[in-house]
Amino acid sequence: MMNKKKKSLIMAMTAIFFIAVIAIFVVYDFKTEDKPVSNIPEQDVQTNNEAKPLAQPDLPVPLDTDEEYAVFKNSLFIGDSRTEGFKLYSGVNNAIFFCAKSMTVDKIVSGEKIKAQGAEQSIYEVLDGNSFEKVYIGFGLNELGWVHIENFISEYGALIDAVKTSQPDAQIYIQALLPVTKERSSRDRTNNNEQIYWYNTNLVKLAQSKDVVYVNASEPLVDESGALKPDSTTDGIHLNSKYCKIWAKYLAEIS
């Protein structure tokens, strides 16, 4: 009799337990139904206060070479292979050039003709056929081996006189002879920086005696020792395209 009562009690308690569990789930489902369900993942929800990308500032409009090198308008450049490299790679396209590889100042003075402005001309024909505001002269590289520097200075002076006669209102600039690299200077008995320094010292005196401007554009082209930067050239003498532009920009600033 007692066993039957115990079994009835256990069954009753078990039934109450299952009823309680079912009731809990029903209540829980009811509460969750009251909450709005979003199908958007939490990380994708954005607010109206999100940061907006900043507007990009207007980039400066690059100047064309004529504007950047306006100082060279109505100018004449006379020189050798270095000036020829300047003509080809600097970006200066508003000037006239009278220059050639292996050119020396005495050849210019003697009237040697080269191609200039589309025709074979001497420097005298170029001077007489144009009106220049500025004339830049750059010689010395091919004359470093001359026995007497006095001959170089004399020929250079004669060229200056010819320019003055034909272009009396033009400002004349004598360009300093640019140095060579330290490596080139150490192995070259002719093209070395000691000899270049000596020539430039005499060019300064020539400029003073002729009342023209001596201009040295080497500052951005040389290293701390005063030699041409190794990355500016492939042969230790002539400037590459990058440094021809640097040369032109600095020359424009100081002249």
Q: Report the pLDDT averaged over residues 137-147.
A: 97
Q: Report the pLDDT averaged over residues 23-46.
A: 45
CATH topology for 65-254?
Rossmann fold (3.40.50)
pLDDT at 64: 55
pLDDT at 30: 42
Tokens in use for 22? 């079912």
Please check the confidence at residue 242 and state whether its pLDDT lies above 60: yes
Top pLDDT among 10 and 47 is at 10
Least confident of 7-16, 42-51, 163-172, 201-210: 42-51
186: amino acid identity, one letter: S
What is the dihedral angle through the alpha carbons of 200, 99, 126, 206, rounded to the nearest 10 degrees?
Answer: 10
At 177-234, the pLDDT tens digits run: 999 999 999 999 999 999 999 999 999 999 999 999 999 999 999 999 999 999 999 9
Instruction: Give residue 13's pLDDT band: very low, low, confident or very high (50, 70, 90).
Output: low
pLDDT at 68: 82
Instruction: Give residue 151's pLDDT band: very low, low, confident or very high (50, 70, 90).
Output: very high
58: amino acid identity, one letter: D
Q: Report the pLDDT averaged over residues 235-253.
A: 97
Please check the confidence at residue 41 and state whether its pLDDT lies above 90: no
Q: What is the mean pLDDT of the chain?
A: 85
CB contact at 8 A, 143 and 166 = no
Q: Domain-by-domain residue ranges, the chain?
A: 65-254
At 88-113, the pLDDT tens digits run: 999 999 999 999 999 999 999 999 99
Distance CA 137, CA 27 (A): 101
CB contact at 8 A, 226 and 42 = no
Please check the confidence at residue 119 and state whether its pLDDT lies above 80: yes
Q: Report the pLDDT averaged over residues 57-86.
A: 80
